Amino acid sequence: MASNATDEIAFDFRPYFILYKDGHVDRLTENDFVPPSLNPEGVSSKDVAIIPELGVSARLFLPKLDAGDPHRKLPILVYFHGGGFCFVSAFCSLVHGYLTSIVTEANVIAVSVDFRRFPEHTLPAAYDDCWAALQWVASHSAGEAEPWLSEHGDFDRITIIGDSAGGNIVHNMAMRAGREELGHGVKLDGAIFGHPYFCGAEAVGDEVKYPEKKAQGDYIWMLTNPTTVGLDDPQINPIAVGGPSLSGLGCARVLLCVAGNDILRDRGLLYYERLRSSGWKGTVELLESEGEEHVFHLYNPTRENARIIMPHIVSFLN
């Protein structure tokens, strides 16, 4: 019996997602939508539309306000989730729990961006959505409608953060912030990279020993961005020859996290070294978690090394 076209697999990336030849996708990790909630005794959350016509939205997190100083201005953290531009969302338990922990520990306002994803939308849709989200955040410095931001946000202390593909988005947003205005005189203060997803045509480090893992990462980039110039596109290989200098990074401070057993570790280290030598005027801190796998701190937040990362994030934000 001939197989139904809707059952023919184009790319099998279990346990995360399966892409079928007709274009639809099974996102295998998204059966755990967590609703937002108001919690006067702790972290409150709510969902807001940013670009309703495109389905771009965000989940906002507000810590318990100090009764003695309820108008105190709090740092703003804008989070871009990972998932290879294909899976994970701002509303899943993984992301919701992680942001709740950061907001609790660091006493910040967080904006977790839900951008358009592949295969319904190819890159640069995710980049455009995240930039629009940053501009939306900046607009609240002029008193726009969302009171959690306009009344409690410190627009001199905006940090962007992301893990894996979200770390790639962090790089691209910081570079764009170096070229373009966010609006209303707002600038990025910091950027936190969690095991950023970068690749390149020439294998480096452990990519030489594990070509199948490199090929998987390469394929995801080529799949999700059909208009790319290739694996040395500066959006995915920030240190590619001929690409823009990292001296143009549009923030003052960077925290770069890598994991010892992550195949992306070596590209993270190269990024760190290139940033330091680029002439960029900011400060950069490197945090390596020895013996750990890619984004282990999300999936195993109680591990000792994960507990070490959190104080670094808290210190960076404050």
Give tens-digit pLDDT for 199-249: 999 999 999 999 999 999 999 999 999 999 999 999 999 999 999 999 999
- What does the pLDDT read at residue 6? 67
Model confidence at 16: pLDDT above 80: no
Helices 165-179 & 125-139, crossing angle to 10 degrees? 60
Residue 12 banded pLDDT, cuts 50, 70, 90: confident
- What does the pLDDT read at residue 182? 97
Structure tokens at 305: 């090394």
Strand order in the sheet with 153-163: 44-51, 56-62, 109-114, 74-80, 153-163, 190-194, 253-259, 283-289
pTM for the structure as a whole: 0.95
> What residues are labeled active site?
164, 262, 294
Q: What is the spatial distance between Cα 167 and Cα 52, in angstroms, rounded to a whole number? A: 25
Structure tokens at 310: 């959190």
Strands (E), the chain: 9-13, 17-20, 25-27, 44-51, 56-62, 74-80, 109-114, 153-163, 190-194, 253-259, 283-289
State mean pLDDT over 138-162.
94
- What does the pLDDT read at residue 31? 66
- What does the pLDDT read at residue 1? 38
Give tens-digit pLDDT for 50-98: 999 999 999 999 999 988 888 899 999 999 999 999 889 999 999 999 9
Q: For residues 28 and 15, is the Cβ–Cβ distance under 8 A?
A: yes
- What does the pLDDT read at residue 292? 98
